[in-house]
């Protein structure tokens, strides 16, 4: 028996509105099943249950705003009787669903030694703010946690009012901007980055892809983006040290590869939802999943796990004409892969000079977790797969 709690779906999230239950009391649910939709500042997100069992009791009605960590429902494990389950839940209010693997993004903001045993969704760290500041923040919609970041001093009224004024002047400083601001500030402050770049001759890969697509219907065609993601995933399988986390002074490598794909939203802002278990997908499945992920991101229907379980990030600013991207690692990840625009460039092979499709691939690595050599190996593998695209099928 356990409590299904409001998960934390981002560093800036303190609460969310439970919009819709997808299950009712008595329903059988399986691990990973979407059982509710919640609305956060990032849009409507589907949230999944972490264990298989039966929905014993729904504790929160639809359209209720709940703080992170609020119990939403009681889930009985299989075979557990209803009465006994409810009694047990009452007796053991602390019992929580198992932690999904890997841990969510914002956990390093409040590091604890035993990640695996921690509750999935714990209330955000207590923000030190005066009562007047708290009320004002609520009135003006100011995120106290964002204000508190990086400050040991308590937040007072004037700081909230100033923040509200700044926000009014600069409307883009919304919750998402602030979440990004916080994560990136932390990244630059804490993570010693190393940067490597290499030029990749994309001509073979693009020619191969064109040939492949020529035999297919429009619907079945593969975009270069999917090919690139597939290549990155394969390269990460070869160099797994870059696919994981740096937490508690410890480097842990993730078994699954969940690349966070930077996707721009139409209304502005940027989300990097995860392409979950990308290592299990072939090229077609990667294409299909990417398509699905982009569609759902832009319609605001992401799942909680996609928001929290990224193991590495891929940023591709090529469509904006940028030739080379040096990324800032999203903590606690240890690497970010940057892919630039594919341009026609002079290319020397042997004694001959020719024009080729060239892309700059970069990697920014966390120097605490890995060395430049690891990054170099990764780029070498990435290049290898793009020179031998048939291996990506």
Residues that bind other proteins (CB under 8 A): 128, 130-135, 153-157
- Nearer CB in complex with other proteins: 142/239: 142
Q: Report the distance separating Cα 209 and Cα 277, nearest Å.
A: 23
| Alpha carbon distance 173, 159 (integer Å) | 15
Q: Which of 364, 362, 360, 363 is closest to 323 using CA atoms? A: 360
Nearest approach, Cβ of 161 to other proteins (angstroms)?
A: 11
Nearer to other proteins, 165 or 237 (CB): 165
3-state secondary structure 136-149: HHHHHCCCHHHHHC
DSSP-derived 3-state class of residue 78:
coil
Q: Which is nearer to other proteins, 144 or 369 (CB)?
A: 144
3-class SS shares of the chain: helix, strand, coil, % to 5: 35, 25, 35
Q: Which is nearer to other proteins, 157 or 184 (CB)?
A: 157
Residue 128 or 373 with smaller CB distance to other proteins: 128
**Cα(313)–Cα(322) distance, rounded to whole angstroms?**
18
Whole-number minimum distance, CB 152 to other proteins, in Å? Answer: 9
> Dihedral, CA atoms, 222, 227, 230, 232, nearest 10 degrees?
-160
Tell me how far apart the alpha carbons of residues 158 and 181 are, in angstroms, rounded to a whole number: 21
Distance CA(229)–CA(250), nearest Å, equals: 27
Sign of CA dihedral 125, 34, 62, 292: positive
Question: Is residue 139 packed enough to be buried (19+ CB in 10 Å), middle (13-18) or exposed (0-12)?
Answer: exposed
**Smallest distance from other proteins to CB 356, Å:** 59
Q: Which is nearer to other proteins, 130 or 277 (CB)?
A: 130
CB of 139 to other proteins, least distance (A): 11
For the chain, give the number of residues. 393
Q: Which is nearer to other proteins, 136 or 186 (CB)?
A: 136
């Amino acid at each position: 028996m356990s409590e299904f709690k409001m998960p934390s779906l981002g560093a800036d999230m303190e609460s969310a509105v439970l919009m819709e239950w997808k299950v009712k009391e008595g329903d059988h649910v399986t691990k990973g099943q979407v059982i509710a939709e919640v609305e956060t500042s990032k849009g409507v997100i589907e949230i999944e249950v972490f264990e298989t069992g039966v929905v014993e009791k729904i504790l929160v009605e639809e359209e209720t705003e709940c703080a992170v960590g609020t119990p939403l429902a009681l889930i009985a494990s299989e075979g557990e009787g209803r009465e006994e389950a409810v009694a047990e839940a009452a007796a053991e209010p602390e019992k929580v669903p198992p932690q999904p693997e890997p841990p969510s993004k914002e956990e390093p903001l409040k590091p604890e030694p035993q990640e695996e045993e921690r509750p999935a969704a714990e209330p955000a760290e207590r923000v030190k703010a005066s009562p007047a500041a708290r009320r004002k923040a609520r009135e003006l919609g100011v995120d106290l946690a964002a204000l508190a970041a990086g400050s040991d001093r308590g937040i007072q009224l004037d700081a909230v009012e100033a923040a509200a004024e700044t926000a009014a002047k600069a409307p883009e400083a919304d919750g998402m901007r602030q979440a990004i601001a916080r994560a990136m500030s932390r990244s630059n402050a804490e993570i010693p980055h190393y940067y490597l770049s290499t030029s990749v001759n994309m001509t073979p890969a693009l020619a191969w892809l064109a040939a492949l697509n020529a035999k297919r219907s429009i619907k079945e065609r593969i975009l270069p983006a999917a090919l690139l993601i597939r290549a990155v995933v394969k390269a990460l399988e070869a160099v797994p040290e870059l696919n994981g986390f740096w937490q508690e002074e410890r480097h842990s490598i993730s078994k699954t590869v969940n690349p966070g794909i930077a996707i721009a939203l139409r209304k502005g802002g940027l989300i990097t939802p995860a392409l979950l278990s990308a290592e299990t997908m072939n090229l077609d499945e990667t294409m299909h999943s990417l398509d699905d992920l982009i569609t759902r991101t832009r319609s605001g229907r992401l799942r909680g796990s996609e928001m929290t379980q990224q193991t590495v990030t891929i940023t591709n600013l090529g469509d904006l004409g940028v030739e080379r991207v040096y990324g800032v690692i999203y903590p606690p990840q240890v690497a970010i892969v940057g892919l630039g625009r594919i341009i026609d460039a002079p290319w020397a092979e042997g004694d001959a000079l020719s024009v080729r499709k060239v892309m700059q691939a970069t990697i920014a690595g966390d120097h605490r977790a890995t060395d430049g050599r690891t990054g170099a190996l990764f780029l070498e593998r990435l290049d290898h797969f793009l020179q031998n695209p048939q291996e990506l099928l």
